[in-house]
Structure 1
Amino acid sequence: MRRFLASSVGVTCAAALALPLALPDPAQARAPAVTAEPAVPGSTQSLPLVPLAGTRSLGPAASEQGLPRRDVRSFSLVGVVWDNPNSELHGHVQVRTRDAGTTHWSGWQDVETHYSDDAADLDSAERASGHVRGATAPLWVGASDGVEVRVQAELAEGDERAGATADSPLPRGLHLELVDPGADPPRAGTRRAEPTGGTSVVEAAAADALNTEPVDAAAANAGLAPLGATEIPALTKQQTERDPATQELLAAQGSRQRAQPYIGPRPRIITRRGWGADENLRERGFVYTKKVKAAFVHHTASGNKYRCSQAPSVIRSIYRYHVESSGWRDIGYNFLVDKCGNIYEGRAGGVAKPVMGAHTLGFNTNSMGIAVLGSYGATKPTSAALKAIARLTAWKLGLYGANPRGKTYLKSGGGNLYRKGKNVRLNVISGHRDGFATECPGRLLYGKLGSARRTAARYQGR
């Protein structure tokens, strides 16, 4: 694996930060590979794929690669990565897993291969770091200790694609990533956020002296919650408008907002500490854009076989997959939503701030990404998840003067729909597919965005 160098772009919180860990490459033995002894619970096993029977003599040029059934350490999420982030995996990826502590194997499950569009922009420092890899979507399988995988190429004769040719039909460097999210963070003794007053940042920092995690992510939410809070509490619309943090943000924009701006009530948001983020994994510092003009709605394509009580584990797994396996500086999405309507802080830097994400290739500047946990091509999103999208966008877009039912212009950073530099007119609440040719956020979730726009506008008082 690899570790990040701190980015020269962005704002680094003036807090005591822990140095990132160095993670060695996995061993090549048949036993499960170990990347490192984690500083906190959770780990990633990275296993190189091999040509399957009948094609072994072709080595890296084999059109079918994978791993036969094998015992591994416990994991809950799987994905496949490869060396070149500009390569696409044209083919099928399927996995079978064995429930932990049993002899029961699942049937073959498909892994979504078109995932490179959930990524940092092509000209960003994050993309140019040299650490980024191509990757499939992650698939949540639950606690497992056995795995089998097969990857089969689809390449027409004479077809030439980056990293995949007739001599090498699959991207080079294919690895199976098995992610263990670790145990949920302990709830006993955690401090909850208070709407006003409460523990000061200095007092909370002293109380956190025994905590080995860096505190910059929590400090970025100063004014919304005390340091170490597991959630940011909901406010009414009136409380939100009068909240000092809201007024400070509007003032910092040199606000052109009207005297009583259209800002929806702030929803309850579970912080990174609340879902158990290991702050030692990500790159230090934060990167911001100027404002938030639009929200892109995604699905994680990780499957729907999770309980809402497992959502923090799913998010910790995606976080590890984005950072350790895919080479990103942090989790890509700014926010995540589960099917029970819980909202989670995603990429660090402050939930009210214009944090640069890695969610919509070509349109990460001046936007935010909201990912609903699950796959919504054939499954309807819950009403609770749709309400959460509406509440979150009504608040966050309202802080920056955006109308959820309106249109806006974003400049493309390059992609497969719009050339670099083109000003594109988009819905203020768009689906991922509006900025990139992809199935995301799934047909059935995409079809509900009109309702989410209307509801968000109503929350704003429009």
Structure 2
Amino acid sequence: MGPPRPLLILFGCVPGLLALLALVMGVAGVDRTAPRAAVPEPPPVAARLSVPRPVARPPIVPRSKWLDAATTREQPPPRYDDRVVAVFIHHTDSPNGYDCADVPRIIRDVYAGQTGAKQWDDIGYNFLVDRCGTIYEGRAGGIDRPVTGAHTQGFNHRSAGIAAIGTFTGGAPVPKAMTEAIARLVAWKLGLAGVDPRGTVRLVSSNSLSRYAAGTATVLSTVSGHNAAFMTSCPGAALTARLPQIRALAARYQGR
């Protein structure tokens, strides 16, 4: 799951056959010089024309509260998109019976695993939510900004990744405080771009390691599970079953 970057081509007027030749050469040049992963597609028309739908930002614990000097790794500057038009829900696939006071350590462990063994530049998730409903800032770059994450292979652009701390396979209880906090976070984050949490969005895959070959456009729910975009069971059957409720609750928080 690595993050990706942008490119745009503009042609002037070229008469007759020269125009056709310039067009063919230009398209070939794009394929040779820039990987799909570095070319975020423009947002769909609905997203461009939507207006912000302000929702109060829920309390979010900054990363400075869980990331200590001993754990911090050197990393490149954060990357940004123009807005967030989709949210992907994950689980951390870690034990459920934790004490919420111990969550900063748990997040440090996730960070250490992703930046250590996996050699990512930072924690992949933009936000993490614990079973008590506390929301934590994950990836660096600014809580209010559209930070490009590293959470959903092929679909990190214009999306935010929210990880539920725990393992939510079939039959696992999903705490009400957790789903309510996720819904409030979704309502606020998508509200900045006027996006309806119950809607759909057209996204273009930037990486063939996702469910879709690089360059493939697909329509996904604006609030999707990780498994909608990548071959995985994440966020687990139990949390996946709660997504309709999260979408509806987030829409309600937006006043829809």
TM-score by length of 2: 0.78
Pick from 228, 232, 249 the counterpart of residue 455 of structure 1: 249
Structure (1/2) with the larger helix percentage: 2
SS of equivalent to 2:119: coil
Q: Which residue of 2 aligns with 1:386?
A: 179
1:402 and 2:206 correspond: no
Compute the displacement of 1:320 (Å): 1.2
Report the CA distance between 1:264 and its aligned residue: 2.1
Poorly superposed stretches of 4+, deviation over 6 Å: none
Pick closer, same or farther for the CA change 1:409–1:435 going to 2, 3 Å.
Answer: same
Normalized per residue, the structure richer in strand is 1
Q: Is the 8 A contact 2:153 2:210 kept in 1?
A: no
Contact 1:391 1:456 in 2 (8 A): yes
Question: Paired residue for 2:2, among 120, 123, 127?
Answer: 120
- The answer to whether the aligner puts 1:273 opposite 2:64 as a matched pair is yes
The superposition leaves residues 158-214 of structure 1 with CA deviations (integer Å, 9 ceiling, x where unpaired) of: xxxxxxxxxxxxxxxxxxxxxxxxxxxxxxxxxxxxxxxxxxxxxxxxxxxxxxxxx
Q: Does residue 1:327 correspond to 2:131, yes or no? A: no
In structure 2, distance between residues paired with 1:256 and 1:424: 20
Alignment check: 8 A CA contact 1:283 1:330 kept: yes
Q: 5 Å matches for 1:426-445?
A: 426-445=220-239
The question of whether the paired residues in 2 share the 8 Å contact of 1:282 and 1:323 is answered with: no
Closer, same or farther: CA 280–416 of 1 in aligned 2, 3 Å: closer
Instruction: Give CA deviations for 1:362-388 in whole Å, capped at 9, x if unaligned.
Output: 111111100001100041210001001
The aligned amino acid for 1:296 is F
| Paired residues, number | 211
Aligned residues with identical type, % of pairs: 45
Shift of residue 284 of structure 1? 3.3
Q: Distance in 2 between matches of 1:361 and 1:416?
A: 5
Superimposed CA distance per residue, residues 391-414 of structure 1 (whole angstroms, 9 cap, x where no aligned partner): 001001111121101110110122
Change in CA separation of 1:388 and 1:344 when aligned onto 2, cut-off 3 Å: same
2: CA distance, partners of 1:416 / 1:351? 26
Match of 1:251 in 2: none
Larger relative contact order (C-alpha < 8 A, sep ≥ 6)? 2
Equivalence for 2:240: 446
The 3 A distance-change label for structure 1 pair 444 and 406 is: same
The code of the aligned residue for 2:144 comes to A
**Structure 2 gaps, min length 5:** 6-47
CA contact (8 A) 1:286 1:348 kept: yes
State the secondary structure of the residue aligned to 1:369: strand
The structural deviation recorded for 1:431 is: 0.4
Whether the 8 Å CA contact 1:264–1:456 is kept in 2: the answer is no
CA distance in 2, matches of 1:382, 1:263: 27
Q: TM-score, with normalisation over the residues of structure 1?
A: 0.44
- Does 1:417 find its partner at 2:211? yes
Superposition RMSD on alpha carbons, in Å? 1.7
- 8 Å CA contact 1:298–1:369 kept in 2: the answer is yes
SS at match of 1:445: helix
| TM-aligned CA deviation for residue 256 of structure 1 | 5.2
Contact 2:50 2:195 in 1 (8 A): no
